[in-house]
Homo-oligomer: A and B are copies of this chain.
Amino acid sequence: MQDTRDIRLAVIPGDGIGTEVVAEGLKVLDAAGIKLDTTGYDLGAKRYHETGETLPDAVLSELRAYDAILLGAVGDPSVPPGVLERDLLLKLRFELDHYVNLRPVKLFPGVQTPLGGVSSEDIDMVVVREGTEGPYAGAGGVLRKGTPHEVATQESLNTAYGVERVVRYAFEKAKSRPRRKLTLVHKTNVLTYAGDLWARVTDRVATEFPEVTVDYCHVDAASMFFVNQPQRFDVIVTDNLFGDILTDIGAAIAGGIGLAASGNVNPDRTAPSMFEPVHGSAPDIAGQGKADPTATILSVAMLLDHLGLAKDAARIEQAVADDLLERRETAATRSTSEIGDHIAARVAG
């Protein structure tokens, strides 16, 4: 926890709308009076095409020196699917030991949700998604590729070390919230080896947190409850893949991917944490000023919170909340930079 308003920030705008939304995030940080020392990194599709590089070792080690990283989005149709995701985005998460992928699912007042009859009190949870193992480990292989006898495997790797640290983080998070409820989501009845590890670790850590109510939900049921009983959830802890799926459902019920923020957090601070909107690079609307930068701005608030600047974070979140209400009331259609301007003005004012 540095608790100073000077931040050394690495910025990776990335591809597509990444550049546009990141600019608005920086605008709002600036309006908040944060003293930023930013360095941009041109990682993404362009660099890949020019040099074949996704995340060179030298860049990775440079990145370690920053207080935090702000990432826009990576991915472009011109790059073979998965290359930038795995060799850039996931590599950053794994190498910088972002074992907590923190994803709030919160319906701000005035925001339209596809769910009928729910209000903002009904949707207010945090998904603590494991970020460094599970089915994302990249383990697997292929035999007799392209033949009728092809076999492809994909392995989920789970360790007591990896599960326990994220579960403990989730308990701390649950303890700090009014409802003090934690739900483990997995598929223990089918994924018995991994599920059993998650369940045993959760049970054990639970004894250290008697004030937290714990329950368990299979991922299929949890996905259903996101839609028809979102009130059920406060803090959720889950594996990397289930967290990926649940947080997209979460984004949908909380008003869309344009509002979903996330932090790839290294709680031990052995490397910088990285903040990014949940949405992708959306090449179809890139460069048109159509992207909603709100998810990035909320991610920037999470970044400040992580660096000990809770008050500044809260101020930005409040500005976003106020702006969302205003956008609703005035039925305003605003461009990417107009949204950034409005929120920045509220933060500065």
Residues of A within 8 A of B (CB): 75, 81-82, 85-86, 90, 113-117, 135-136, 138, 140-142, 144, 146-161, 164, 187-197, 200, 219-221, 223-228, 241, 244-245, 247-249, 251-253, 256-257
Contacts and interface: CB of A to CB of B under 8 A. Distances in A.
A193 B152 CA distance: 6
B224 A223 contact: no
A86 B192 contact: yes
A110 B121 CA distance: 28
A248 B245 CA distance: 13
Contacts of A220: 244-245, 247-248
Contact of A228 (B146, B154, B164, B256): B256
Contacts of A253: 227
A138 B75 CA distance: 33
A228 B153 contact: no
Nearest to A240: B190
Nearest to A113: B116
Contacts of A156: 135, 140, 153-156
Given A140-B192, A221-B248, A114 B227 contact: yes
Contact of A146 (B115, B200, B226): B200
Given A116-B114, A220-B244, A152 B197 contact: yes
Nearest to A90: B190
A219 to B, nearest CB: 6
A194 B136 contact: no
A157 B150 contact: no
Specify how many copies of this chain sit in the oligomer. 2
Given A150-B159, A244-B220, A245-B219, A136 B190 contact: yes
Given A151-B157, A224-B251, 14 more contacts: A82-B188, A85-B189, A86-B190, A114-B115, A135-B154, A148-B160, A150-B197, A152-B159, A153-B157, A154-B194, A190-B244, A220-B248, A224-B257, A228-B252
B151 A154 contact: no
A161 B148 contact: yes
B244 A193 contact: no
A239 B48 CA distance: 31
A207 to B, nearest CB: 15
A257 B218 CA distance: 14
A236 to B, nearest CB: 14
Contacts of A249: 223-224, 226-227, 249
B152 A189 contact: no
Contacts of A136: 190
B197 A142 contact: yes
A252 B115 CA distance: 11
Contacts of A197: 142, 150, 152
A155 B86 CA distance: 19
A63 B21 CA distance: 59
Given A153-B157, A158-B154, A142 B193 contact: yes
Contacts of A225: 252
A190 B82 CA distance: 6
16 contacts: A81-B189, A86-B189, A115-B116, A135-B154, A135-B191, A138-B192, A144-B160, A151-B157, A152-B196, A153-B194, A220-B245, A220-B247, A220-B248, A224-B252, A226-B249, A227-B227
